[in-house]
Amino acid sequence: MRNTIHKLLQQHISITQTAGYAFAAVTGMSIIFAAFSFSTDIRPLFAPETQLFNREIMVINKKVSPAALFNSSLTAFTDDEIEELRQQPFVRSLAYFTPGRFQVKAFTETSGQMPRMSTDLFFESVPDRLIGTLPEQWSWDENNSVISVMLPRDYLNLYNFGFSGSQGLPQLSESIVQQVSFKIYLTGNGKRETFTGKITGFTDHLNTILVPEAFMQWANDRFGESDHPSRISRLIIEADNPADPAIASFFAARENYLLNNNKGEQGKLSYILKMLIIIVITVGFLILLPAVGLMFLSIHLLVYKNREVLGNLILLGYGRSRLAMPYSIFALALNIVIGMFSLLLAYYARVLYAGKISTLGFDLSGFGITVVFAAVFVWAVTLLDILWIHRRINRIDIPARG
């Protein structure tokens, strides 16, 4: 009896409308699943530690004119200039480099592959949030005699591929450099102290020698020369969109500003890539929404054609929820098939781009999270179909008894 009712209620199902819904739904879902899979696979490329698509950080300073030879304050930013920049719509946050107002001398003893070297240095600090991934030893307090130092990766490259070759010195890897400690003399304000320095990391987007901000504040208070006024000469801004035309317009109107956006092109590529993913997912939804609308229309027509049969069954005592069951099962089965086929197409697309991402040295995150997303997505679409089915069934008028 149950199978008979199911066949009776499903006899007006349109193959053409079902096929149209299936085709549009497969197209939309496969695009959405493929875009979701791609976004999860490339997520490591945006991680701070990869520095492939690093944060949209831009460093700003003023041009050094001949007059700066006699007045170095000409290259410093005033409070009004900083506030003006902070208020720009493209600025997410603004910070500045804090320079050390003391003398720094560093030297190493001959040890293993490291030759003896000594040099005058300078230190600067920036807020930790702008550095990216912080080394484990980056924190500092007054009881700590070891200073954690972060170098630009370009400095090591200059040594390995420029200085070392011309001087007959060995080339050094990052791991070797990070194993070596060196002595640091800080001098200023009538004081001199010795610390141990240790290079704990490298950066690609900040061209300076960094120390922890806590150390810099303490050292400036202790060793800072009173005749060295604290000036802000370099600013850092985080931009919401590095490709924003307002950035170019703002700096074009201020010829004495230099935008050292050494990662600007990567920031623009990062933004464009994210926007492309959003656009692709949007296209998938734009294709899927008419398909869901077609499904709703098909359900409406199907229930309408069967309204007399459904009304009579209600008179015979069949509950409306029970009558909605055949249509719900049909919608569930159809959407599962559509979801599985869409998932296969998305996986095939993933196979096509997986080799390209692997050449960048990154491992794919796995397809499991996309499968989970697809299952939730298909269930959400099916739930909408079931709710619509119940809505149409509940609106059926019971025929009058003759």
**Is there a domain that residue 399 lies in?**
no
Which residue matches tokens 């559509």? Answer: 338
Picking from 239, 263, 287, the residue at the C-terminal end of a domain is 263
Do residues 140 and 147 make contact, with C-beta atoms less than 8 angstroms apart? Answer: yes
Residues 133 and 273 grouped into a single domain: no
Whether 9 and 128 share a structural domain: no
User: Where is the domain boundary, 246, 263, 280?
Assistant: 263
What is d(CA 336, CA 287) in angstroms, rounded to the nearest whole number?
18
Measured CA to CA, the distance from residue 11 to residue 1 in angstroms comes to: 15
77 and 154 part of one domain: yes
On whether both 147 and 23 belong to a single domain, the answer is: no
373 and 360 belong to one structural domain: yes
C-alpha span between 99 and 82 (Å, rounded): 17
Task: Specify whether the backbone of 361 is left (phi greater than 0), alpha (psi in -120 to 50) or beta.
Answer: left
> How many structural domains compose the chain?
2
**Listed residues 219, 246, 263: the one ending a domain:** 263
Q: Which residues contact 89 (CB under 8 A, 6 or more apart)?
A: 246
Residue 27 belongs to some domain of the structure: yes
* Together in a domain, 213 and 70: yes
pLDDT in tens, the chain (402 residues): 455 455 555 555 667 777 877 888 888 888 888 888 887 877 666 554 454 445 577 888 888 888 777 777 788 888 898 999 899 888 888 998 988 889 999 887 655 555 567 788 889 999 888 887 778 788 888 888 889 999 988 888 888 888 887 878 788 888 888 888 888 999 988 889 989 889 888 887 788 899 999 999 999 988 887 766 678 888 988 877 666 778 878 888 888 888 775 555 555 666 677 777 788 778 777 877 777 777 776 776 666 666 666 666 666 667 777 777 777 888 888 889 988 998 999 898 888 877 776 665 556 667 888 899 889 988 988 898 888 888 877 776 665 555
Any domain includes 402 = no
CA 320 – CA 395 distance, rounded (Å): 10
**Per-residue CA distances from 64 to 67, 70, 72, 125, 258 (Å):** 8, 11, 9, 22, 10
Q: Is 105 within a domain? A: yes
Asked if residue 218 is part of any domain, the answer here is: yes
How many whole angstroms separate alpha carbon 103 and alpha carbon 173?
28
Residue 370 CB-half CA count within 13 A: 28
Q: Are 277 and 231 in the same domain?
A: no
d(CA 152, CA 208): 6
Q: 129 with 170, same domain?
A: yes
Residues 257, 273, single domain; the answer is: no
Residue 400 lies in a domain: no
Q: Characterize the bridge pairing of strands 181-188 and 103-107.
A: antiparallel
Regarding whether 288 and 199 lie in a shared domain, the answer is no
Residues 118, 212 within the same domain:
yes
Q: Is residue 371 in some structural domain? A: yes
Per the structure block, which two tokens stand in for 332? 């569930």
Q: Is residue 401 part of a domain?
A: no
**CA 391 from centroid of its chain's CA atoms:** 41
Domain that holds residue 323: 2-48+268-394
Closest by CA to 133, choosing from 39, 46, 253, is 46
Whether residues 354 and 234 fall in one domain: no
Under a CB-based contact definition with an 8 Å cutoff, are residues 21 and 288 in contact?
no
